[in-house]
Amino acid sequence: MPLTISEDLKAQLSLLTTQNASVLQEFCRLANQYYRQEINPRIYNSASNKLGVQPSQVEDAVRALVFLLIHCTKAKASKLEVEELATSLNFTKDAVMVLADAYTNNEGDIKEYMKSMGVQVPHYNNLEWRFDILAGSRALHHIAEPLITLQLLLDHSSGIQQKNKEDGSGGKCEKILLQTDPNNLVHMTNVLEEALQEARTHHSRRVQQYLK
């Protein structure tokens, strides 16, 4: 099925179709940075000065390029189909190659970015525990209350943002301090063990097989 794009998108890409391959290469690099949320607005200003256009046009062109690549990824287009689409948009031959390369080389990044746009729920990272005996407090002296303190680590960001953190901290990681007593600890452990058992049942395996 041939890839098609809307007239609006064609209009926004028109800035790029008149540029040579090296300029398009720069735009592809900017699009890459866009996935990683690393774009500095000053880049748009410097690019607009070099090309003699408004910064907003540059920003629109980058967004249009990102949208184009996402659209191709969603449609699972082959390299050839992307080349055909680029040619139909009046890109030069060299520009077509640059675009097709950008599509194939950054497929992983585009997919991660698309995932980050989807439904996001905090994801489990780690659980540390500590068993304490509370000997007293301001409100009550001389007690011996067993308490279990738990530190739950949850990830809030998607994979692509985690990869880019230089210190390896793994993106937005939330540390949550919780507490429980021995009875609730045993109850919680039993309930979650039941949850693990459910994945091993015949029914769950059938659902998994059906989806393969």
Partner 1 sequence: MELSPEVSSALRLLGDASKTDNSTYQAVLSAVSADIGAGDGQEVSQPQPPTSGVVSYCHAALTTLFLESVRGGHSTSVVTSTLEDFMWPPDRVNEAIKKLDSHWSVTQTRLSSLGAFPPHIVDVDWQLKYEVRSSGGEVDKARGAVYLVRLHLDGSANSPLTFTCSLAQLTHMVTRLKQATRAVQKYANN
Residue for token digits 């585009």? 110
* Tally of CB atoms within 10 A around 150: 15
For partner 1, the closer CB: 40 or 137: 137
For partner 1, the closer CB: 23 or 154: 154
Closest CA to 44 of 64, 30, 28, 24: 30
Site track for partner 1 across 87-126, x = CB under 8 A: ------------------------x--xxxxxx-xxxx-x
For partner 1, the closer CB: 42 or 138: 138
Contact call for residue 1 and partner 1 (CB under 8 A) = no
Residue 60, C-beta contacts closer than 8 angstroms, at least 6 positions apart? 12, 15
Residue 85, C-beta contacts closer than 8 angstroms, at least 6 positions apart? 2, 3, 5, 72, 77
| CB of residue 81 to partner 1, shortest distance in Å | 17
Contact call for residue 211 and partner 1 (CB under 8 A) = yes
C-beta of residue 154 within 8 angstroms of C-beta of residue 173: yes
Residue for token digits 């979650």? 192
Q: Which stretch binds partner 1 (CB under 8 A): 15-23, 48-56, 91-99, 129-137?
A: 129-137
Contact call for residue 128 and partner 1 (CB under 8 A) = yes
Q: How many residues bind partner 1 (CB under 8 A)?
A: 58
For partner 1, the closer CB: 80 or 195: 195
Using CB atoms within 10 Å of the CB of residue 203, give its burial: 0 to 12 exposed, 13 to 18 middle, 19+ buried: exposed
Binding positions for partner 1, rule: CB under 8 A: 73-74, 111, 114-119, 121-124, 126-129, 131, 137-143, 145-146, 148-150, 152, 154, 176-182, 184-189, 191-196, 198-199, 204, 207-208, 211-212
